[in-house]
Structure 1
């Protein structure tokens, strides 16, 4: 792999500068996001921070193709970029026109299928003690659902200042480190681009007085790039034991998403309707600042990222045991925090 540390530094620096400048421009242009019934904000803020991610992705690939063309990137990368452009365009339209959830999900579903057909579906799962072979259709459905859930889920979690950007910066940075260790070049480039473009957004997005939102443009594209990169890691290394790396890195998000969705289905709610049922929304409703909420998720992310990187470095097989124990831990923490909020709410009403 001809990719020197200096190359990595300049690619990352370029992504950061492009993203930072575009976010600064969007703050000045003030393309506003009007709060709706799902929002926890009460005033309009500039949106379009996600445009920096799009520009940084394109810039990094042009830079690599121009100065280090011998880097062995995936031959399917142009097709992945087409999928990314479709997702980005969908995000832009949703930021402007607020597309209905069902229509947005249909488009995301077809993009997810296209991406999985290009990468190839998962063929087996790391079990408790050995691998579990999957029929083609089961692997296809599971792989599509992974991308679909990531895109929608990360979009759901983009509601508090800095929450999505800071957490996904950590997750994509961790994925980049793992890919670098294992020599997965395309995965590393995509992760590197994502984490530095999010870093360019963070100065304007993090904190209680956010100056710009990532918008659906940013959150949808972030979910797509991360989920696709996690699948590419398995393909590039030809190591199915790395299949759970992606889910582990964003487990605090996934546990909140799945428990919230299950609760809504149990109460007769819709997957596609707007709501304020996520844990971060409940915490902010209790007058906990956006910054503290984002830092809490970030702390949980640091734990699971450290665990995952440790397993990779020490060549510990990331089996279903590790995934299951991690899920139970994340879900339990989420349950007890939400339960404490509900008890406080009940006591205030008495």
Structure 2
């Protein structure tokens, strides 16, 4: 309920804000168009009466556009590792992908078959409501987008610290989520 579209909205706005000063017209236009489309979609996605379901086609298309945006901009001239900023912007879908693949691999299942291994479903099993999970995801995504902005403007030493702390937090969360039986 709004998880994919909200995550994509924050990511597209992050790409827009990062690419805007570089005046890369097509990246800015694509990021703004995606953000606008998602803003129009989210109220229907969150509605209880008039629900629109994105489906695989919508989420895969949005993922493709976000991946193209990540490749389309210049990130920094300050440090060489600022180029990994898109990993922070897209950290939540990347985290979920690796969590699901690892959880299914551990159980001896194929990683490409559907199941209830996703982080949001694990959080729901832990007792969090869907609204709480959505709010947590949006806040985490905004923080990660801010980290991405930081790493393109900091020296490589400080950027490395930001990447390291983010990785440590992700591993800690993954460890906790993997304890939840599905």
CA RMSD of superposed structures (Å): 2.7
Distance 1:262 1:208 in 2: 34
Residue-pair matches, total: 180
Does residue 171 in structure 1 map to residue 5 in structure 2?
no
Other-structure match for 1:197: 37
Does residue 219 in structure 1 map to residue 59 in structure 2?
yes
Other-structure match for 1:309: 149
Distance 1:255 1:273 in 2: 18
TM-score (norm 2): 0.84
The structure whose Rg is larger is 1
- Shift of the 294–167 alpha-carbon distance from structure 1 to 2, 3 Å rule, reads same
- Shift of the 286–321 alpha-carbon distance from structure 1 to 2, 3 Å rule, reads closer
CA deviation map 1:112-162 (0-9, x unaligned): xxxxxxxxxxxxxxxxxxxxxxxxxxxxxxxxxxxxxxxxxxxxxxxxx00
- Shift of the 195–316 alpha-carbon distance from structure 1 to 2, 3 Å rule, reads farther
- Shift of the 286–320 alpha-carbon distance from structure 1 to 2, 3 Å rule, reads closer
Distance 2:45 2:102 in 1: 30
Q: How does 1:1-150 map to 2 (within 5 A)?
A: none
- Shift of the 292–207 alpha-carbon distance from structure 1 to 2, 3 Å rule, reads farther
Distance 1:279 1:309 in 2: 25
TM-score (norm 1): 0.46
Does the 8 Å contact 1:178/1:309 carry over to 2? yes
Does the 8 Å contact 2:85/2:151 carry over to 1? no
Q: How does 1:311-326 map to 2 (within 5 A)?
A: 311-312=151-152, 314-317=153-156, 321-326=161-166
Other-structure match for 1:24: none
Does residue 206 in structure 1 map to residue 46 in structure 2?
yes
SS in 1 for 2:73: helix
Other-structure match for 2:170: 330
Does residue 185 in structure 1 map to residue 21 in structure 2?
no
Does the 8 Å contact 2:150/2:159 carry over to 1? no
CA shift for structure 1 position 315: 4.5
Distance 1:263 1:337 in 2: 10
- Shift of the 270–208 alpha-carbon distance from structure 1 to 2, 3 Å rule, reads farther
Does the 8 Å contact 1:244/1:323 carry over to 2? no
Q: Which runs of 5+ in 2 are unaligned?
A: none
